[in-house]
Amino acid sequence: MVTIKEIADLANVSTTTVSNVIHGKTEKMAPATRDRITKILKEKNYVMNMGARLIACNNSRLIGVIINNPSTEDKNALQDPYVSELFGAMERQIRQKGYYMLTYIAEQEQSLTGHLDNIVKTAQSWKTDGLVILGVDSQESEFLLEALDIPLVFIDNFSSHPHCLNVGIEDEEGGYLITRHLLENGHRKICFLADRKDPIDVDAARLAGHKRALREYHLPFSTQDIFAIPRERISRQKTFEDLYKKLHRYTALFFSSDYYASDAMHFFQAKGLNIPEDISITGFDDNYFSQIVTPPITTIHQDITEKGRAAVEKLIAVIEGRPVTETRTILPVRLVPRSSVKKMI
Amino acid sequence: MVTIKEIADLANVSTTTVSNVIHGKTEKMAPATRDRITKILKEKNYVMNMGARLIACNNSRLIGVIINNPSTEDKNALQDPYVSELFGAMERQIRQKGYYMLTYIAEQEQSLTGHLDNIVKTAQSWKTDGLVILGVDSQESEFLLEALDIPLVFIDNFSSHPHCLNVGIEDEEGGYLITRHLLENGHRKICFLADRKDPIDVDAARLAGHKRALREYHLPFSTQDIFAIPRERISRQKTFEDLYKKLHRYTALFFSSDYYASDAMHFFQAKGLNIPEDISITGFDDNYFSQIVTPPITTIHQDITEKGRAAVEKLIAVIEGRPVTETRTILPVRLVPRSSVKKMI
DNA sequence: CTGAAAGCGCTTACAG
DNA sequence: CTGAAAGCGCTTACAG
């Protein structure tokens, strides 16, 4: 590969001058010199050595896209359609803005902060210009904010840390819309199903929306009506068995994700139940398969592609020193009624 | 960030010695020195500056994962569940082997080879140790093989170039198994549906298997029974309309991918047809949604996670100079009979 | 308008 | 068993 030095020799100029035309600092340069160098650069097929650039100046044009994958799931993180659509959208924006994407997925570690240390190390090693981070909770995001002095943008993070730049959606509103829809259809006994019995982050917000709708209808809420769904397939089946026994208590199941909703739907259909006649089911996110499943699932739509694009755009704005008006970007959601909810009235 | 020089000063040794302990070249080193340096390294939280390393030696520990995305599809490349599972599997293997993953998706370009030039430039700029490349045809792979002097491993590539390392599956066998299954169930009029009217690469192999099965049953084959399915949603709907009119000619549709199979199934169901009573449908790949759709689709299973893992493993073997026995790795497939095929006899 | 030169943090062949 | 020193390809503050 040809170097700046070689180009400089060919053009009878210094490396400074070549470097200047490469970076477009050509205002006070003789146009003739500029054109001559540009031509040679093209002819010789010059490609920047990013390693040299990385060590000589302080930006790498690398953006790290980090997933913290808490899952003990048999699947890999990208098999979640939410994650993969987000990834694809971020890649496109990163590339189109002239940056490079370094992908890092942190998996479960023995030590408590091992996965975070790996993220920090990777970012430092490569002197990434910034990071988009997915799947860390408030505490973890604050740890990273302390440990790293580059711009970070989080997705779906609920930290109140003043420097925590975030892109998220109206989770509370989404939870409200789903439950109001169920109530409007005459449902009064609704079960809320999420990752944990005491939901955090997005699930907590969705639950808050659920409660708000119940309050509007003067309906009581009990934590007994929250079910935790294990990520791991086998224990999830057990949970569904358990739920199946208690199903007489409910007329509708509010799942915090389409994936769980469709998984549960299959489980109950295999048990011989009809959806929505025997039990109504709702999801969240409007994944592709909430549409292709039978019956298609009533859910909350969010624009995942826009979310990924917005996160990268915000990150690059900070990197390039442009003013960022909102630390928290909240994208709208909307209800998508389909056929998995029975009209009770 | 602390540098090797600083560590060396603290330990009262040279940078050479520090570098040696970092790289484990400690055979002929005084254990005391080694331990002292190791301790300081840990205390000071030393992180390698990859830029400096990249410029000083000839390997970067970066592996480029490249997708060539010919699609004019409204979706991004990673929204294809096949691609995203593969990606996730490759990321995991890359990380676990101590490498870093640079992701690059080449999108449609004005110039014919523009997308390939970008791939070459990216690989050179970062001095990637090797590339795993997805979605290029034989001609494109040969161009890249010429242009780049680093190890490349392709996925699903059919080039006969002697240096073309590939990981693929038994596509011909898969095509054969599907069609034999249809024939065994009494189907005699089968339509083959793929990206092009004159299928290439994986589709060509699957078609070859289809023909082999027909030959075994002494059945004729006509190119009239091949349908091209456009990637772009709107024109695909038109093609389905067209197909719908000619549907009386067939009892079964052999789709070259689960995605198209499930898309078509929805189209026909919306037209009021029953699957498989009115028309039988088969897919290929055994994507997650071939299982969750109703009826679940009879398809050919391939182990995508293993494919990604194997591709990266093969690449790293070449990078690290280990002997690679097979230039072409062919993973097995198997028939997964589900409920989208009618028993005619 | 252009250039000489130092410096970024590492590796490595060689000397002792 | 350990170190001095050159070199990788770039950028940039400064001089002229």
Percent of chain B with pLDDT over 70: 98
Determine the average pLDDT of the residues in B22-30.
84
CB B283 within 8 Å of CB B335:
no
Band of the pLDDT at B69, cuts 50, 70, 90?
confident
Whole-number Å distance between alpha carbons of A63 and A102: 6
**What per-residue confidence (pLDDT) applies to B71?**
59
What are the angstrom distances between the C-alpha of A49 and each of A1, A234, B24, B51, B123? 9, 49, 28, 10, 10
Strand D nucleotides within a 7 Å radius of protein CB atoms: 1-13
Contact list, B105 vs chain A (CB under 8 Å): 88, 91-92, 95
**What per-residue confidence (pLDDT) applies to B111?**
66
pLDDT exceeds 80 at position B73: no
Q: Which residue has the tokens 């009878």?
A: A12
Contact list, B100 vs chain A (CB under 8 Å): 102, 104, 122, 126
The C-alpha angle B258, B259, B265, rounded to 5 degrees, equals: 85
Contact list, A95 vs chain B (CB under 8 Å): 104-105
Reported in sequence order, the residue ranges of chain B that DSSP labels E, i.e. its strands, are: 62-69, 100-107, 130-134, 152-155, 165-169, 190-194, 226-228, 252-255, 280-282, 299-302, 328-331, 333-336
Band of the pLDDT at A169, cuts 50, 70, 90?
very high
pLDDT exceeds 90 at position B58: no
For residue range A111-126, what is the model confidence (pLDDT) as tens digits?
667 889 999 999 999 9
**What per-residue confidence (pLDDT) applies to A152?**
97
Whole-number Å distance between alpha carbons of B329 and B318: 14
> Which of A105-119, A278-292, B65-79, B182-196 is modeled with the greatest confidence?
B182-196
**Preferred mutation among A1, A41, A91, A121 to probe B, highest tally of B CBs within 10 A:** A91
**Preferred mutation among B1, B50, B287 to probe A, highest tally of A CBs within 10 A:** B50
pLDDT exceeds 90 at position A58: no
For residue range A92-105, what is the model confidence (pLDDT) as tens digits?
999 999 999 999 99
Confidence (pTM): 0.94
| Average of per-residue pLDDT values in chain B | 93
A293 — contact with chain B (CB < 8 Å)?
yes
More confident residue, A70 or A15: A15
**What per-residue confidence (pLDDT) applies to B72?**
57
Whole-number Å distance between alpha carbons of A80 and A259: 8
**What per-residue confidence (pLDDT) applies to A110?**
60
More confident residue, A299 or A9: A299
**Contact criterion met (CB < 8 Å) for A47 and B124:** yes
For residue range B103-145, what is the model confidence (pLDDT) as tens digits?
999 987 666 678 899 999 999 999 999 999 999 999 999 999 9
For residue range B286-340, what is the model confidence (pLDDT) as tens digits?
988 898 888 999 999 999 999 999 999 999 999 999 988 899 999 999 999 999 9
**What per-residue confidence (pLDDT) applies to B32?**
86
B30 — contact with chain A (CB < 8 Å)?
no
Q: Which residues does nucleic strand C approach, with CB less than 7 A?
A: A 12-17, 28-30, 33, 52, 55-56; B 1, 3-5, 15-16, 19-20, 22-23, 48-49, 52-53, 55-57
